[in-house]
Amino acid sequence: MQDQSKKSGYDQTFKQSSQLNLKDSLSFDIDPSMSYRFISHQVVSKDNQDYLLAGDLNNNGISVLSFRDKKVIKKIKFKATGPDGIASMKAGRNFYYHNKDSIFIFNQNKRSIYLANDRADVYQKYLPQKNKENLGEIIVENRFMPSFFDNTLNFCLYPIIPPYKNKSKNFNSIYAEYNILDKKLSKGKLTYKYADQNNRHPIYHYPSRVDDSMQLVFLHPFKSEFKIYNKHNDNLYTKSFNHPYVDEYTPFLESFDKMKRFDVTSTLNTILLFNKRQQLYYVITELGMPYIDPNTGEKNAYEQKPFSVIVFDVQLKAIAHKKFKGGQYFIQNS
Is 235 within the bounds of a domain? no
In a domain, 325, yes or no: no
Q: Which of 293, 295, 315 is nearest to 305 (CA)?
A: 293
In this prediction, residue 124 carries a pLDDT of: 92
For residue 260, the model assigns a pLDDT of 85
Residue at 95 is within a domain: yes
Question: Is the pLDDT at 228 greater than 60, yes or no?
Answer: yes
Q: What percent of the chain has pLDDT over 70?
A: 80
| In a domain? residue 75 | yes
Distance CA 311, CA 33 (A): 37
In sequence order, the 6+-apart residues with CB closer than 8 A to the CB of 304 are: 264, 289, 326, 327
Q: What is the pLDDT of residues 282-300, one digit of tens each?
A: 999 999 999 999 999 999 9
Q: Is residue 162 part of a domain?
A: no
Q: What is the mean pLDDT of the chain?
A: 82
Most confident range (mean pLDDT) of 22-26, 174-178, 188-192, 204-208 is 174-178
| Coarse DSSP helix, strand, coil percentages of the chain, rounded to the nearest 5 percent | 10, 35, 55
Query: How confident is residue 41, by pLDDT bands cut at 50, 70 and 90?
Result: confident
94 lies in some domain: yes
Bridge partners, 307 (sequence order): 286, 324
User: Which residue range(s) make up the domain with 41?
Assistant: 23-127
Phi and psi, residue 135, nearest 5°: -105, 150
What burial class does residue 29 get, using C-beta atoms within 10 Å of its C-beta: 0-12 exposed, 13-18 middle, 19+ buried?
Answer: exposed
Residue 84 maps to a domain: yes
Q: Which residues contact 279 (CB under 8 A, 6 or more apart)?
A: 313, 314
**C-alpha distances in angstroms, 216 versus 80, 153, 244?**
33, 13, 24
Helices (H), the chain: 13-17, 163-166, 259-265
Q: Stretch 148-162: mean pLDDT, rounded?
A: 83
CA 68, CA 91: separation in Å to the nearest integer?
27
Of the two residues 178 and 9, the one the predictor is more confident about is 178
Cα 261 from Cα 299, distance rounded (Å)? 9
Q: How many other CB atoms sit within 10 Å of the CB of residue 191?
A: 17
Total count of domains within the chain:
1
pLDDT at 329: 80
Q: What is the DSSP string of 231-279?
A: TTTTEEEEEE---TT-SSPPPPP--GGGHHHHHHH--EEEEEEEETTTT
**Which of 220, 302, 297 is CA-nearest to residue 259?**
302
In this prediction, residue 13 carries a pLDDT of: 45
> Does 310 have pLDDT greater than 90?
yes
pLDDT given at position 112: 85
Residues 46-72 have pLDDT tens digits of 888 899 998 877 778 898 999 999 899
Domain membership flag for residue 185? no
Task: Give pTM, 2 decimals.
Answer: 0.83
**Per-residue model confidence as pLDDT tens digits over 244-290:** 999 998 876 666 677 888 889 999 999 999 988 889 999 999 999 99
Range with the largest mean pLDDT of 8-22, 72-86, 115-129, 312-326: 312-326
Confidence of residue 330 (pLDDT cuts 50, 70, 90): confident
Total residue count of the chain as it appears in this document: 334
